[in-house]
């Protein structure tokens, strides 16, 4: 962290960059938040610890409109989102100075609670986590406190960067598509019941949309009065399905599976499942594809090749 902070400060001071996009220390170790730093003074609050899970790539859309370069700290998985935005011309590579930061899997305070720890007062980001609670001290194994997305990590390599600081570690210990496969195995009634139960929890806070790097439209269709989807009152408790399904379609083929939607959902809805189902189907029908891996790649849903599966094949469940 100190090396990263020192380097960021150096680049800020020598004028290479006008500002730094990183994380600001929160009240506790576990709640750092994304922030811009434009002076040495501001940089005092800069932090990078194992709780810095937020994907900063989307903030670059606004940063690119500003004068001068912005230093942005990207974890390996964030670099995919950055590339995807680059391929959609939403950000300008020339205006970014990317420090690829090391990642050992990011921690989540919710996971600590889910591990059975109550009354948390403070927590470290070490392995194992040292937790001080109202009821005394305890420890939680690092892996048990890790975000679900890190168990199916895309890899420890950055796909785009100017320089690298810090080591990354392999954290994969689960099958990326196991959750999707489990839902696919359900009967239609079970599937409906599952999604109804999950999506009915939605309070339409829009956190998933606002954090999503693929949901970067200048004007979201849900906010535009050009469409009849604006500010629509719920007529049943499952009305929000439309919002989430439309959102999943809008990001299909562009979603890098960064997992921010599920991370920020205050209701704990596993929103990434929709996107991951699309990714699984795309892989099956059009060959392995990772959005953001290659800026020049034509997305599988936005290109046509003679090897593409025919619609009739898709409807049969996608036998190539």
Binds other proteins (CB under 8 A): choice among 221, 242, 295, 309: 221
State how far the alpha carbon of 3 is from the alpha carbons of 53, 170, 233, 320, in Å. Answer: 19, 22, 51, 50
302 interacts with other proteins by CB under 8 A: yes
Does 291 help bind other proteins (rule: CB under 8 A)?
no
- When asked if residue 90 is in the footprint of other proteins (CB under 8 A), the reply is yes
Beta carbon of residue 188, minimum distance to other proteins (angstroms, whole number): 22
* Residue 231 binding other proteins, by CB under 8 A: no
299 binds other proteins (CB under 8 A): yes
- 210-225 b/e (C-beta count within 10 Å ≥ 16 → b): ebbbbbbeeebebeee
| Binding test (CB under 8 A) with other proteins, winner from 94, 310, 315, 317 | 310
Given the complex with other proteins, which of 42 and 221 has the nearer CB atom?
Answer: 221
Please count the residues of the chain.
320
Nearest to 232 by CA among 249, 212, 218, 246: 246
- Residue 197 to residue 152: CA distance in whole angstroms: 25
Judged by CB under 8 A, the residue of 217, 237, 268, 294 near other proteins is 217
Query: From the CB of residue 191, how many other CB atoms can be counted at a distance below 10 Å?
Result: 13
* Residue 195 or 222 having the CB closest to other proteins: 222
**Shortest approach of other proteins to residue 70 CB, angstroms?**
17
Shortest distance in whole angstroms from residue 61 CB to other proteins? 10
Least distance to other proteins from the beta carbon of 164, Å?
29
Q: Are 48 and 99 in contact (CB under 8 A)?
A: no
Q: Does 303 bind other proteins (CB under 8 A)?
A: yes
Under 8 Å between Cβ of 163 and 99: yes
Token code pair at residue 2: 């100190």
x/- letters, 122..161, toward other proteins (CB under 8 A): ----------------------------------------
User: If binding is defined by CB under 8 A, does position 306 make contact with other proteins?
Assistant: yes
Looking up tokens 């990263």 gives 4
Supply angle C-alpha 5, 258, 209, rounded to 5: 105
Closest approach, Cβ 317 to other proteins, in A, equals 15
From residue 61 to residue 80, what is the string marking binding to other proteins with x (rule CB under 8 A)? ----x---------------
Residue nearer to other proteins on the CB measure, 231 or 306: 306
Contact 303, 285 (CB under 8 A): no
Closer to other proteins at the Cβ: 187 or 306? 306
b/e per residue 76-112 (b: at least 16 CB within 10 A): bbbbbbbbbbbbeebbbeebbbbbbbbbbbbbbbebb
Question: Is residue 312 within the footprint of other proteins (CB under 8 A)?
Answer: yes
Residues 6 or more apart from 228 whose CB is under 8 A from it?
none
Binding site for other proteins (CB under 8 A): 65, 87-90, 216-221, 224, 226-228, 250-251, 254, 298-299, 301-306, 310, 312
């Amino acid at each position: 962290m100190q090396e990263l902070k020192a380097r960021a400060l150096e680049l800020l001071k020598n004028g290479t960059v006008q500002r730094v996009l990183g994380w600001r220390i929160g009240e506790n170790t576990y709640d750092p938040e994304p922030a811009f730093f434009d002076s040495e003074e501001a940089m005092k609050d800069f932090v990078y610890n194992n709780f810095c899970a937020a994907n900063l790539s989307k903030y670059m859309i606004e940063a690119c409109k500003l004068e001068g370069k912005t230093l942005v700290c990207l974890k390996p998985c964030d670099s995919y989102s950055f590339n995807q935005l680059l391929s959609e011309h939403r950000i300008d590579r020339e205006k970014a100075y990317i420090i690829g930061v090391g990642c050992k899997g990011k921690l989540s305070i919710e996971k600590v609670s889910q591990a059975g720890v109550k009354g948390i007062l403070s927590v470290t980001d070490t392995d194992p986590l040292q937790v001080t609670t109202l009821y005394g001290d305890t420890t939680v194994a690092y892996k048990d406190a890790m975000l679900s997305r890190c168990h199916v990590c895309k890899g420890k390599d950055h796909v785009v960067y100017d320089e690298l600081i810090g080591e990354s570690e392999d954290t994969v210990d689960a099958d990326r598509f196991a959750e999707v496969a489990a839902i696919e195995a359900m009967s239609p009634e079970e599937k409906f019941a599952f999604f109804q139960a999950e999506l009915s929890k939605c309070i339409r806070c829009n956190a998933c949309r606002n954090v999503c790097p693929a949901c970067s439209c200048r004007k979201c269709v849900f906010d535009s009065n050009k469409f009849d989807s604006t500010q629509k009152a719920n007529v049943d408790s499952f009305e929000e399905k439309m919002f989430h399904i439309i959102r999943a379609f809008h990001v299909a083929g562009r979603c890098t599976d960064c997992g921010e939607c599920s991370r920020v959902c205050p209701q704990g809805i596993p929103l990434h499942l929709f996107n991951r189902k699309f990714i699984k189907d795309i892989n099956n029908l059009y060959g392995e594809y990772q959005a953001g891996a290659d800026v020049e790649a034509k997305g599988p849903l936005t290109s046509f090749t003679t090897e593409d599966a025919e619609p009739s094949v898709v409807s049969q469940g996608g036998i190539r």
